[in-house]
Amino acid sequence: MRGPAVTAALALLLLSGCGGSDGDRNARVVATIASQSKRCADGSFHRLGSLRLAYAAVVRSRAPVLYRPGGRRLASFGRRNVNRVPTVFSIRGAIVDANCNPRSYLVQVPKRPNGVTGWVAAAKVDVETVRTRILVDLSERRVTLYKDGRKLLSAQAAVGASATPTPTGRFYVNQRLIPSDPQGPFGPGAVGISAFSEVLTGWTQGGPIAIHGTNAPWSIGKAVSNGCIRLRNPVLRRVFAQALGGTPVVIRD
């Protein structure tokens, strides 16, 4: 994250889907929930996701997100976000009927405060499976990418400076963007995550955080950014190719 007009320098890339039909993917959710219990009690809550498998909710048309099922509205999201890419939530759990079919999903959304969750009706979203996850260790200034629970790569990164620290917490990949200039400050790509700077609140779109490339390779391994995580461009290309929408991202001190 280099300046207020972060997204102005970016061309857009549509979310890459995961394999299988909508019916197949939703069937996987039902099967996962059913495997957790011999039977489902109508209205019961079941957590979803593990170190090997996560679930993403892709908005079909328009999706109100509620503070609690049947409660007041937290926010409403359209099919595409402000960058005109598909709107994606991270699924954390589901309320189901007696046949283990989800009625509502507990989702994390790309909105302040960081890590905020709410409820979205299952009929408002399609479900994607995700087998990647990302760990960002700020003290080691290192990004590690996992797939199916196995480490794919681990690389040094630049992180936020003391005045503009990278926020910590549990987030997810909510968009992927391609810069109009691959030789510019974002390198060949930016993996947007559902976190926002805690200090740069007046920036465009509220100061979104991303993992991106750089035209300043000297900065790798240092705490110098405005909150984003920079990787060397060859490494960023590998992360970009694997980090589909909904990929869990943990940032720790």
Residues 95-109 as b/e (b if ≥16 CB within 10 A, e otherwise) read bbeeebebebbbbbb
Q: Note if 228 is an active site residue.
A: yes
**Using 50, 70 and 90 to split pLDDT, how confident is the model at 14?**
very low
d(CA 61, CA 124): 7
Each residue's pLDDT tens digit, 78-117: 999 999 999 999 999 999 999 889 999 999 999 999 999 9
Which residue range forms the structural domain that includes residue 74? 22-130
173 and 99 in one domain? no
User: Which residue of the set 40, 46, 100, 212 is catalytic?
Assistant: 212
The HSE-up count of residue 59 (CA atoms within 13 Å, CB side) is 23
Domain boundary residue, one of 108, 130, 152: 130
Domain boundary residue, one of 75, 107, 130: 130
**Using 50, 70 and 90 to split pLDDT, how confident is the model at 3?**
very low
| pLDDT in the model for residue 37 | 61
135 and 123 in one domain? no
237 and 156 in one domain? yes
Q: What angle do CA 218, 222, 228 make, to 5 degrees?
A: 95
Measure CA 132 to chain center: 11
41-44 CB contacts, 8 Å cutoff, 24+ apart: 41/98, 42/96, 42/97, 42/98, 43/95, 43/96, 43/97, 44/95, 44/96
Domain boundary residue, one of 80, 102, 130: 130
Categorise residue 174: left if φ over 0, alpha if ψ from -120 to 50, beta otherwise. alpha
Q: Note if 212 is an active site residue.
A: yes
Q: What is the mean pLDDT of residues 64-91?
A: 96
Q: What does pTM read for this prediction? A: 0.89
Each residue's pLDDT tens digit, 162-181: 999 999 999 999 999 999 89
Each residue's pLDDT tens digit, 196-229: 999 986 666 668 999 999 999 999 999 999 999 9
